[in-house]
Each structure stands twice: as structure tokens, then as C-alpha cells.
Amino acid sequence: MIVDTWNDCIQLGDIKIGRGIRPFVVAELSGNHNGNFDRAIELADAAIDAGADAIKLQTYTPDTMTIKCDAPPFQIQKGPWAGRNLHDLYEWAHTPWEWHAPIFEHVRNRGCICFSTPFDVTSLELLEDLECPIYKIASFEILDLDLISAVASTGKPMVLSTGMSSHDEITEALQAARDGGCRSLVLLHCVSGYPTPVEEISVQSMGVLADSFGVPVGLSDHTLSTLVPTVATSLGACFIEKHFTLRRSDGGPDAAFSLEPAEFSELVQSVESAWRAAGFVSGPLRPACEKESRVFRRSLFFVKSVQAGDILTSDMIRCIRPGDGIAPKYLNQIIGRKASRAIDRGTPVAWDLLEDGGQS
């Protein structure tokens, strides 16, 4: 067990999320509003009517996620978003920040919990102003230890998704959360394949997370199955997250791996029944279908062109998607060193681009 100071459950008012408690079921709206505010409200209402315990948003802008650049690393070649570049994808999928307050208010007026995934400090500040009660860290952001520390410093409970992550990466993320002040946290087993093949979801991996890290575990599921969350519940999941849409035929950034209202209602009922049969098993953490998704995690990129011999400063390098550069944790080892050659904006940071090469 990595740490022994985590709380056994998350407390949200009268609601508890943790071991032995009926799973908390979350409807992820993501970008399935298709740029229409009224549809966003309709999505939230339909999910609440289907039995969701909470509605989750994603809080970012295209420019907080990446830079507008047509270089090859920024082009998506495969999967549901093939043919787009990253900036265009996030322009399409983001939820406008001015929508957040009315969506939060509407969901709360329905007697339901609304929360979100912040993707940088500015989005966290917005959500703090809205008194967001709990924060989710997305799988792609698990390498952004500064973001995790900032979220932890709010003192709010956290939910950390582990798609694509190694044991060491999860350990580092948990350490950052604990050092930042977080004490209530749930780890979500997640496979970052969109959609995820049922045969690769490996829900027994929740047991590995529980045994290794000593925190409550759940599932962020990108299969189109309602059975997978049901099985996960029987294996001890205390938190279930699924993407939600009104109709897959309407299209949308995440429609291909989202449940419709009738399916979501079936999921809620199945999870309720399976909860009575909870248990744990062991299994592998990382499946094969995540390989192509790993390139879109955060990493270090040059966001300004530099000349050979230039001293690198914090405005030249950012932690952004995609994942072609070195890990964000090395940023402080890069700043202050000299560029070994001229480097174009949009180039991933690599050790051989430094004048003295290698890690310091």
C-alpha cells in the first residue's frame, strides 16, 4: 500500500462514495451538447431522469489544451476524431465557460450534483467560483502533477482516472495529491480506447488498484455495454462514470461511445442490483488498445521558435497535448538550459535539443 492516510470514503453533503456503498453513477456530458446550450440542459435533465447521481462537465478551452498548429504531431490519424487536429477537436468539443454557471444552477435545482474536470489552473479557478464540490482528473492529465497539486490544494475530494497509466505514474499522481492536501480520493480504472472493446476492459484491474494504493476504486467506462459497469460493481466499484447522449445518431464528439437515456436507466438499475454481490479480483492494469491514445497525453512542447544558444524560459515551453515530448515533470530541469540548435514552434521537447543533453 502506497499511503495510509486516505479517507475510506468521499463525503458530499449527505452522500457518501466509498467501499461498501452503492456505486455513485455519473453521467459525463462532455461535448455531446453539440454546441447548443438548450441541448446541454436537455442532456442534463435526461440523465437525471434516467437515475444519474451526478452530472459531469469538462472545463477547458482549445487554447488551454494545446496550441493551434498544423505540424504532424497535432494531427489525429486514427479513431473517432481522425482527420482533425487537436485544436480543432477541442474547439468542437469544449463547453463554453459562460454555460457553466447556468448548467450548475440548473442541475442543483434538480436536486442533483454537478461537477467537472478542470484541465488547467484557470479552469480550476472558474470551478472554484462555482463551488464545484468534487474534481475529476482525466486520464490524459495524470502526468500533469502541477495541476493535480493545484486541485488538491482546494481541499475538495478528487476522482483520478488511470487510463494509459503505469504503476509508477499512478504513484506519482497520488503523491502529488496527498502532498497538495487531498485526503479523500477515488481511483478509477479506465481504458482510454474510444470506444473500448469489451474484451479489453479488464474490470478485474480494479482489484490491483485497490490492493496497490489503498483507496476506494471505481470505473470510467468507454464501452457501449451496460453489462461492464454491472460486472465492475460486483467486483467492488464504488463509482461508475459513463458518457451520455440523447441519441447517438445526432452525432457529437463522444456520441460513438455514449449511452442513450434508456440504456443509462438500464445501467443504473443493473448497478443497483449488482451492488449486493460486491467482490474483488486481480488483473493487469494496461490493455493494448490504449497504445494509440498515449500520444495525446500532456507533454512538453516548444510554443515559441528559438535559436541555437537561446536560454530556455517558461514562456517558450508549455505542458500541452499531444504526448510526443518528454514528461511534464521535467519542466524545471529544462528551464534555464540552452537550446542546442534552432527549434521551431510546435516541436516536442527532447533531451538532444538541449546544449548539454540528457537529464540534469
pLDDT at 284: 52
pLDDT at 80: 80
pLDDT at 82: 85
- pLDDT band, residue 282 (cuts 50/70/90): very low
Q: What is the mean pLDDT of the chain?
A: 93
- pLDDT band, residue 279 (cuts 50/70/90): very low
Report, as an integer, the average pLDDT of 8-21: 92
**pTM across the whole model:** 0.87
pLDDT at 1: 44
**The pLDDT of residue 36 is above 70:** yes
Report the candidate in 170, 194, 182 with the shortest Cα–Cα distance to residue 78: 194
pLDDT in tens, 284-304: 567 778 888 988 999 999 999
- pLDDT band, residue 116 (cuts 50/70/90): very high
Determine the length of the chain: 360
pLDDT in tens, 317-327: 999 999 999 99
Report, as an integer, the average pLDDT of 200-206: 94
pLDDT in tens, 218-231: 999 999 889 999 99
d(CA 162, CA 179): 19
Cα–Cα distances in Å, from 351 out to 302, 327, 356?
A: 13, 11, 9
What proportion of the chain, given as a percentage, has pLDDT over 70? 96
**The pLDDT of residue 47 is above 90:** yes
pLDDT at 331: 97
Cα–Cα distances in Å, from 46 out to 116, 225, 343?
A: 18, 19, 50
pLDDT at 285: 60
CA 222 to chain centre: 12
Cell of 259: 449511452
**The pLDDT of residue 264 is above 70:** yes
Longest Cα–Cα distance of the chain, Å, equals: 64
Contact 183, 7 (CB under 8 A): yes
Report, as an integer, the average pLDDT of 108-128: 98
Cell of 12: 458530499
- In the chain the domains, ranked by start, together with CATH numbers, are 9-290 (3.20.20.70), 298-353 (3.90.1210.10)
**The pLDDT of residue 4 is above 90:** no
CA 194 to chain centre: 13
Report, as an integer, the average pLDDT of 139-151: 97
Pairing mode of beta strands 24-28, 15-18 = unpaired
**The pLDDT of residue 307 is above 90:** yes
Contact 113, 12 (CB under 8 A): yes
**The pLDDT of residue 281 is above 50:** no
pLDDT in tens, 162-198: 999 999 999 999 999 999 999 999 999 999 999 999 9
Report, as an integer, the average pLDDT of 119-128: 98
Cell of 151: 486541485
pLDDT at 289: 80
**The pLDDT of residue 359 is above 80:** no
**In the beta sheet, which residues pair with residue 28?**
56, 243
| Alpha-helical regions (H) of 121-223 | 121-129, 145-152, 167-180, 205-213
pLDDT in tens, 219-263: 999 998 899 999 999 999 999 999 999 999 999 899 999 999 999
**The pLDDT of residue 341 is above 80:** yes
